[in-house]
Amino acid sequence: MISRMYRDMVDFVVVHIDEIHALDGWSFEQIKFKIKTHREIKDRLSAAEILQSLDDFSLPPVVDTMKNEANLNYGGLPVRMSVVLEY
Tally the domains of the chain.
1
pLDDT at site 65: 92
Does the global pTM surpass 0.75? no
From residue 10, give the alpha-carbon distance in Å to each of 7, 38, 50, 53, 73.
Answer: 5, 30, 24, 23, 21
The pLDDT of residue 16: 79
Query: Any idea what the CATH number is for the domain that residue 22 is in?
Result: 3.40.30.10
| DSSP H or E run through 50 | helix 41-52
**Owning domain of residue 22:** 2-74
pLDDT given at position 14: 81
In a domain, 87, yes or no: no
Q: What is the pLDDT of residue 80?
A: 65
Q: Chunked in runs of 10, what are the mean pLDDT values of the chain (87 residues)? A: 82 78 64 76 87 75 88 73 67
In 3D space, the residue among 84, 56, 55 whose CA is nearest the CA of residue 70 turns out to be 84
